[in-house]
Structure 1
Amino acid sequence: MSQATFGDDDLFGEAANEMREDVESSLEEGWAALPAADDVWETDADNVLGVLNGLNSALDVGDAEDHLRDAKKWFTMGQRADAFDDAADLEEEITDLEDAITDIADASEQVSDLTSTIPALKSTLADAGADEADDGDEDAEDEE
């Protein structure tokens, strides 16, 4: 069938299918760009700071935000053009991916805060331990 025989409805239907495929493809790529569960859960670090640094690196969403943006862009275009017969599944998956990215970003922010706090806390506790040791030495001298 030549392109000249396609009616407007046929072309619109074809474009709508391609738009849906673009949204679905962007969503798949978005999910694939998220960190793997094992990368977030498992560690080889020797100390807390190493664990936090490894976790912070693992909590990188990569290109997931870009893929989500593409999915939302094509979804919005399709919705406004009334191109989708049923778009509830796409809308739900977009929301799920967006929520996942937000959760990962929030976790990354919390880990970053801990990464900067833990060394200072260790230093404070080490100083407090040194002060206690000094006080213990002074008490021993006073008893002599």
Structure 2
Amino acid sequence: MSQASLDDDELFGEAASEMRSDVESSLADAWDALPDADDIWETDAENVLGVLNGLKSALDVGDAEDHLRDAKKWYTMGERADAFEDADDLEEEIADLEEALENITDAGEQVGELTATIPALRGTLEDAGSEEADDEDENEAEAEEDDE
């Protein structure tokens, strides 16, 4: 084997190692960008709308999607170049991260829908309560008239 091919093999091995490190680093950054479990569990809000708004903010995935994209980009390059000896762990972690992001995004959308619905529901219930109170006032007034 010539010196040039040995150097090429060493360079390829070094590049493959760096590529794997880039994927692992991007995955770690993506996991770190996800919301903290306590942030979506605990609240200081005084009402349901405050809880929902806080939860909606807590479910922001930040830069996690960008980091996942970087990880997938470098992973795909490494796979196509056959640079990884064993990349099953990377593939599995990418899938786990994608699933976590999807779950968080779905939850955020559901919370967003509730955040939009709750004020309208409250208004409807307040209107129904005031109509009921008006009906009771009318019934009391009629009863008083009948007593006289």
Unaligned runs of 5+ in 1: none
- Give % identity: 72
The one-letter code matched in structure 1 to 2:82 is: D
- In structure 1, the residue corresponding to 2:112 is in which secondary structure? helix
TM-score (norm 2): 0.93
The one-letter code matched in structure 2 to 1:134 is: D
The one-letter code matched in structure 1 to 2:34 is: L
Per-residue CA shift, 1:21-41, capped at 9, x if unaligned? 000000000000000000000
- Taking the aligned partners of 1:74 and 1:114, their CA distance within structure 2 comes to 38
Q: Superposed, which structure 2 residues align to 1:4-83 within 5 Å?
A: 7-83=7-83
TM-score (norm 1): 0.96
- Taking the aligned partners of 1:5 and 1:134, their CA distance within structure 2 comes to 92
- Taking the aligned partners of 2:6 and 2:119, their CA distance within structure 1 comes to 68
Unaligned runs of 5+ in 2: none
The higher radius of gyration belongs to: 2
- In structure 2, the residue corresponding to 1:25 is in which secondary structure? helix
Runs of 4+ in 1 over 3 A off after TM superposition: none
Structure 2 match to 1:90: 90
Structure 1 match to 2:102: 102
The one-letter code matched in structure 2 to 1:62 is: G
Q: How many residues align?
A: 142
Per-residue CA shift, 1:79-100, capped at 9, x if unaligned? 0000001100000000111111
The one-letter code matched in structure 1 to 2:83 is: A
Per-residue CA shift, 1:44-64, capped at 9, x if unaligned? 000000000000000000000
**CA apart distance, 1:5:** 9.0
